Chain A
Amino acid sequence: MIEPMPREIINWSILEEIIYMDEDDPDFSKRLASQFVVQADTTFAEISEELKTNKNLEELEKLGHFLKGSAAALGLQRIAWACERIQNLSRKVEKTFPTKEELLSTLPEGTQIFDIDMKIYDDLNNGTPPTTDGDELYLFLIKRALAQAYLEFQLARNELSVYYHDYLY
């Protein structure tokens, strides 16, 4: 049974603790957030590359785990959730992934998704699942989880950018 997707994009009680550290180290939290953005960009690219070329599940598990850790540390819980799916699908301890409709319905009311993000999301979600039970199925589902993670990443980045009044690269 897959644990349910958390609703809020950012778990503010976690992030607030980090923001609290800004008191004696100004911009500490923002620095971390920016680092995360860079790290996430890199990791997404690596996962995507892995899916295209080597298709090594072990490697994918590591990447998913890695990003999950940093996302969770910052309270970016929906990203963390999606990364955990990548991790678990790679370990083959999960064999399903919720539909995108189900996942989008968990977003807080009024969440705005930009066209470009939606397009990427839709494109990555394209295709029909392989009928075989081999690695192909897991790779297919991982790609969908990656789509979710990337969408969540954009949403989190938007929310963080609003918070910091600065666009995070």
Chain B
Amino acid sequence: MSFNHNNLELGLPTDLGMNHPLSQSIDDNNNNDGSLPHFVSQPEMAMHQGMHQSPYNSVPAPPPPIANQTGKKKTAGNNTGTGKKNTSARKQANNNLSESGAASATPTKPPSNEFVRKLFGILESNLYPDIVRWTDSGDSFVVLDTGKFTTQILPNHFKHSNFASFVRQLNKYDFHKIKKKPNEEHRSVTGELSWEFKHPHFKIHDEASLDLIKRKLSNSKKLPQPNNAAIAGSTLNGMRMNALSPGGTPIVNNNTMMSQMNNGSRTGRNGLQGGHSATRHEIVNAGLNQLGITKEQFLSHTVSKETYTTLRKRVDTLEKQLEVSKNEIFIGKVENQKLNSKYNTVVESLITFKAVNENLINNFNILCTTLSQNGMKLPAGLYEQTTINSGDDKNIQENTGALSKNLSVPLLTGQPDDLANQDQNKMPTSNVLANTSNLLNNQMDGLVSTPLMKETRKDIQNTVLKSGFHVLLVEDDTISIQLCSKFLRKYGCTVQVVTDGLSAISILEKTRFDLVLMDIVMPNLDGATATSIIRNFDNQTPIIAMTGNIDDQDLITYLQHGMNDILAKPFTRDDLHTMLVRYLRNREPLSEQQRVQTQSPQQPPLAPQQPQPQPQQITHNGPPGGHTNTQSPMDHTQLNQMQTMTSEPSQNNSQNGSINQSPVNLVHDPNQGSGNLGQLNIGDNIGVPVDNSSDTLLANPNFLNDEHIDKKPHLG
């Protein structure tokens, strides 16, 4: 189905595709930097549809991110004709330009007629009597064989092989072609193809008179658009016609006229800088036919005002752009400084906060110890986690050390040098501050709990995901599908695509995936509703919403529906990778797990997927955690229910007494929130994760996320 403009209630002429001004496009291209190599007329289709017009050659070139290709890969067949024509027109224009460059220098030099002297020399030497020689009378010369003249003499003596330009040159020095008269004996002597030229001062053996032969000067009048390729081209052609056509050229056989002309030329040259001289006006008034040629010649040898203006404009534009860029850099610096001062403020409050928090933890530990000493039974894992927490202090300190070592790296990237230097002096503080403020912002927005925190770009880039993760992509737009699955495959994932919410549900009932990327607005069933249904039977698989709606209320809704995170559209490759790393970093691909599982059926099938990362780590290091499920032959639903039940108490613990949570896990392992975010009342939890993660935050270089500063937290 194509877009017919009639649908838009328009009455458009049928030839709309044609009304593209070709000359305009030529002009544009001349004015452009030449990076647009092709002139293409309307594709045929454009004429049929009346909409698909727009010959792209005249659109300003974008900043091509990839090396500028001058050759067009494909050209529609019907375009080539016009293209060639235009190109040749442009070539002519270029010829004009380059010639004018050479010629414009001439008047500044002392009058020279090297060309004439060279020609005189050749004739005097009589080296090529069969090609060019004096006529018998000695007051003109004749080119007997233009072919040989062009191929032999011109290249040797005049460094070109263009007879027309030789003639033009002669013309410039006021030589004139002698019209052949049928009756004259010349004909028999010199043949049909001969060209005879004459100048009053160009005579055999008369070298002294050569000084009188001067280049003609031309009138300074200009045609309205001398830069226009078409006009310039026709001027050129006109000139050639004048010089070459046997009958049409006004032959000056009047010596008085000639000398008057020469006089005029000389005075004209002297007065050129000052403008019109009286002599020139006389010439103009004299109405010499010759004048037409003179004018045109002058035009073809001058840089036109138009060209100058165009270049001037371009320079102005570039200067403006430079100015704008400078301003932008300046603004950037100022904003950076503002941000730094904000960080300072935030870090102060955070440090206070941290002190209070440590105090609380200590008190809590004392309380726990006292309680257990007094024979009170503590909930399983509570006390243990606390000790782990204190054990982590060491790690924290180590991390802090590492942090200060690594600090310069993230800072230096993406910041102006002077700022980076400035920041280096107070690096530990400002970085920590930056991270802190990000975290705080997130928390304060009430949108984000710890799993949503961003890791640094560097960190993410360094993280290599295991390959083989099976990802379900739920998306209805073909372009997004191709793009997203391309990216996913690039990261070693296998991708399955369904295009609506209902299909997503049914495929998740049958197959397990490591991760689900879910569009929100889809036909049949929207992503959020689909997720809430999926959460009835699958509480583990991370489901990431992909959405262009970044309205806060919407985002909360998505999270409440059981989605784990949000990937704002349009997302970059890095955004996607960040998300993958966040949810898959510590995991084995399901396919891998199933392989292991078949080898040792005693292994809990879902253990690595369990929402509680803490016991999971314990499982690795020591005895299996409390909710290890050994009843593998259960079906998924049962298993999931089991899982949910077993994990819920500790889940509650972690929510109500989140102090016990390992900060490392909070930050690093997003599995913690997996499947439970939907039940979280986010508002209530503001602040709780903050104190949890403050240690981590201070210790973790992952938070040096300068990218974060510019973006809306996550969801933007």
| Shortest distance between the CB of B2 and any CB in chain A (Å) | 5
| Shortest distance between the CB of A57 and any CB in chain B (Å) | 15
Instruction: Say if the beta carbon of A4 comes within 8 Å of chain B.
Output: no
Contact with A along B59-80 (1 / 0, CB 8 A): 1111111100101111010000
Q: How far is the CA of A48 from the CA of B38 in the complex (A)?
A: 34
Stretch at the interface among B3-11, B394-402, B598-606: B3-11
| Shortest distance between the CB of A45 and any CB in chain B (Å) | 5
Tell whether, in the assembled complex, residue A162 and residue B478 are in contact, meaning their CB atoms are under 8 Å apart. Answer: no
Within 8 A of B (CB), among A10-25: 10, 12-19, 21, 25
Tell whether, in the assembled complex, residue A18 and residue B5 are in contact, meaning their CB atoms are under 8 Å apart. Answer: no
Interface residues contributed by chain B, number (CB under 8 Å): 60
If A65-B548, A73-B570 touch, whether A44 touches B56 (CB-CB below 8 Å) is: no
| Shortest distance between the CB of A11 and any CB in chain B (Å) | 9
Tell whether, in the assembled complex, residue A112 and residue B59 are in contact, meaning their CB atoms are under 8 Å apart. Answer: yes
Residues of B within 8 A of A124 (CB): 8, 10
If A14-B572, A42-B1 touch, whether A35 touches B521 (CB-CB below 8 Å) is: no
Within 8 A of A (CB), among B522-565: 548
Contact with A along B473-505 (1 / 0, CB 8 A): 000111110110011001000000000000000
Q: How far is the CA of A153 from the CA of B521 in the complex (A)?
A: 23
Instruction: Say if the beta carbon of A110 comes within 8 Å of chain B.
Output: yes
Within 8 A of B (CB), among A104-146: 109-112, 114-117, 119-120, 123-124
| Shortest distance between the CB of A102 and any CB in chain B (Å) | 20
Tell whether, in the assembled complex, residue B73 and residue A165 are in contact, meaning their CB atoms are under 8 Å apart. Answer: yes
Stretch at the interface among B44-52, B446-454, B510-518, B623-631: B44-52
CB contact between B479 and one of A25, A32, A164 (< 8 Å): that residue: A32
Tell whether, in the assembled complex, residue B479 and residue A35 are in contact, meaning their CB atoms are under 8 Å apart. Answer: yes
Tell whether, in the assembled complex, residue B59 and residue A45 are in contact, meaning their CB atoms are under 8 Å apart. Answer: no
If A16-B65, A35-B479, A162-B62 touch, whether A167 touches B56 (CB-CB below 8 Å) is: yes
Instruction: Say if the beta carbon of B19 comes within 8 Å of chain A.
Output: yes
CB contact between B62 and one of A10, A112, A114, A154 (< 8 Å): that residue: A10
Interface residues contributed by chain A, number (CB under 8 Å): 62
Instruction: Say if the beta carbon of B380 comes within 8 Å of chain A.
Output: no
Q: How far is the CA of A65 from the CA of B475 in the complex (A)?
A: 13
Q: How far is the CA of A163 from the CA of B57 in the complex (A)?
A: 10
Tell whether, in the assembled complex, residue B479 and residue A36 are in contact, meaning their CB atoms are under 8 Å apart. Answer: yes
| Shortest distance between the CB of A40 and any CB in chain B (Å) | 8
Within 8 A of A (CB), among B26-45: 28, 36, 38, 40, 43, 45
CB contact between A115 and one of B4, B19, B61, B480 (< 8 Å): that residue: B19
Q: How far is the CA of A45 from the CA of B6 in the complex (A)?
A: 10
| Shortest distance between the CB of A97 and any CB in chain B (Å) | 17
Q: Which residue of A lies closest to B320 (CB)?
A: A109
Q: How far is the CA of A117 from the CA of B54 in the complex (A)?
A: 9
Within 8 A of A (CB), among B82-98: none
| Shortest distance between the CB of A19 and any CB in chain B (Å) | 6
Instruction: Say if the beta carbon of B303 comes within 8 Å of chain A.
Output: no
Tell whether, in the assembled complex, residue B54 and residue A114 are in contact, meaning their CB atoms are under 8 Å apart. Answer: yes
Q: How far is the CA of A13 from the CA of B61 in the complex (A)?
A: 16
Q: Which residue of B lies closest to A43 (CB)?
A: B3
- Max chain A CB contacts within 10 Å: which of B5, B17, B36, B57? B5
Residues of B within 8 A of A49 (CB): 7
Residues of B within 8 A of A154 (CB): 54
Instruction: Say if the beta carbon of B58 comes within 8 Å of chain A.
Output: yes
Tell whether, in the assembled complex, residue A70 and residue B479 are in contact, meaning their CB atoms are under 8 Å apart. Answer: yes
Tell whether, in the assembled complex, residue A73 and residue B72 are in contact, meaning their CB atoms are under 8 Å apart. Answer: no
| Shortest distance between the CB of A131 and any CB in chain B (Å) | 21
Tell whether, in the assembled complex, residue A163 and residue B51 are in contact, meaning their CB atoms are under 8 Å apart. Answer: no
If A32-B483, A75-B570, A116-B19 touch, whether A166 touches B59 (CB-CB below 8 Å) is: no
| Shortest distance between the CB of B52 and any CB in chain A (Å) | 7
Q: How far is the CA of A10 from the CA of B59 in the complex (A)?
A: 14
CB contact between B483 and one of A18, A80, A150, A159 (< 8 Å): that residue: A18
| Shortest distance between the CB of A28 and any CB in chain B (Å) | 7
| Shortest distance between the CB of B438 and any CB in chain A (Å) | 22
Instruction: Say if the beta carbon of B244 comes within 8 Å of chain A.
Output: no
| Shortest distance between the CB of B49 and any CB in chain A (Å) | 9
Q: Which residue of A lies closest to B546 (CB)?
A: A69
Instruction: Say if the beta carbon of B12 comes within 8 Å of chain A.
Output: yes
Instruction: Say if the beta carbon of B260 comes within 8 Å of chain A.
Output: no
Instruction: Say if the beta carbon of B16 comes within 8 Å of chain A.
Output: yes
CB contact between B65 and one of A19, A35, A159 (< 8 Å): that residue: A19
If A165-B69, A167-B40 touch, whether A45 touches B63 (CB-CB below 8 Å) is: no
| Shortest distance between the CB of A25 and any CB in chain B (Å) | 7
Residues of B within 8 A of A18 (CB): 483
| Shortest distance between the CB of B104 and any CB in chain A (Å) | 29
Instruction: Say if the beta carbon of B681 comes within 8 Å of chain A.
Output: no
Within 8 A of A (CB), among B427-482: 476-480, 482
Tell whether, in the assembled complex, residue B12 and residue A116 are in contact, meaning their CB atoms are under 8 Å apart. Answer: yes
Residues of A within 8 A of B45 (CB): 169
Q: How far is the CA of A112 from the CA of B56 in the complex (A)?
A: 10
If A159-B59, A162-B36, A165-B69 touch, whether A45 touches B479 (CB-CB below 8 Å) is: no
Tell whether, in the assembled complex, residue B479 and residue A120 are in contact, meaning their CB atoms are under 8 Å apart. Answer: no
Residues of B within 8 A of A39 (CB): 478-479
| Shortest distance between the CB of B117 and any CB in chain A (Å) | 50
Tell whether, in the assembled complex, residue B38 and residue A35 are in contact, meaning their CB atoms are under 8 Å apart. Answer: no
If A12-B63, A36-B479, A116-B51 touch, whether A158 touches B56 (CB-CB below 8 Å) is: yes
| Shortest distance between the CB of B501 and any CB in chain A (Å) | 14
CB contact between A72 and one of B8, B28, B569 (< 8 Å): that residue: B569
Tell whether, in the assembled complex, residue A163 and residue B62 are in contact, meaning their CB atoms are under 8 Å apart. Answer: yes
Q: Which residue of B lies closest to A159 (CB)?
A: B62
Tell whether, in the assembled complex, residue B60 and residue A72 are in contact, meaning their CB atoms are under 8 Å apart. Answer: no
CB contact between A116 and one of B1, B2, B53, B76 (< 8 Å): that residue: B53
Instruction: Say if the beta carbon of B187 comes within 8 Å of chain A.
Output: no
If A41-B3, A74-B479, A75-B570 touch, whether A166 touches B58 (CB-CB below 8 Å) is: no
Tell whether, in the assembled complex, residue B54 and residue A109 are in contact, meaning their CB atoms are under 8 Å apart. Answer: no
Q: How far is the CA of A116 from the CA of B13 in the complex (A)?
A: 10
Q: Which residue of A lies closest to B7 (CB)?
A: A48
Instruction: Say if the beta carbon of B587 comes within 8 Å of chain A.
Output: no
Residues of A within 8 A of B4 (CB): 45
Residues of A within 8 A of B569 (CB): 69, 72-73
Q: How far is the CA of A41 from the CA of B63 in the complex (A)?
A: 26
Q: Which residue of A lies closest to B63 (CB)?
A: A12
Instruction: Say if the beta carbon of B404 comes within 8 Å of chain A.
Output: no
Instruction: Say if the beta carbon of B152 comes within 8 Å of chain A.
Output: no
Instruction: Say if the beta carbon of A95 comes within 8 Å of chain B.
Output: no
Instruction: Say if the beta carbon of B20 comes within 8 Å of chain A.
Output: yes
Instruction: Say if the beta carbon of B317 comes within 8 Å of chain A.
Output: yes
CB contact between A158 and one of B2, B5, B43, B59 (< 8 Å): that residue: B59
Tell whether, in the assembled complex, residue A166 and residue B74 are in contact, meaning their CB atoms are under 8 Å apart. Answer: yes
Residues of A within 8 A of B72 (CB): 165-166
Instruction: Say if the beta carbon of A68 comes within 8 Å of chain B.
Output: yes
Residues of A within 8 A of B3 (CB): 40-42, 44-45, 48, 150
Q: How far is the CA of A14 from the CA of B4 in the complex (A)?
A: 30
Within 8 A of B (CB), among A30-70: 31-32, 35-36, 39-42, 44-45, 48-49, 52, 62, 65-66, 68-70
Given contacts A69-B570, A84-B548, 19 further A-B contacts (CB under 8 A): A18-B483, A21-B490, A35-B478, A66-B521, A69-B548, A73-B570, A75-B570, A110-B60, A111-B59, A116-B19, A116-B53, A120-B5, A120-B51, A123-B9, A157-B54, A158-B54, A162-B56, A162-B59, A166-B72
What are 5 contact pairs spanning A and B, CB under 8 A? A21-B486, A35-B479, A41-B3, A116-B54, A166-B74
Interface positions of B (Cβ within 8 A of A): 1-5, 7-10, 12, 16-17, 19-20, 28, 36, 38, 40, 43, 45, 50-54, 56-66, 69, 71-74, 76, 317, 476-480, 482-483, 486-487, 490, 519, 521, 548, 569-570, 572-573
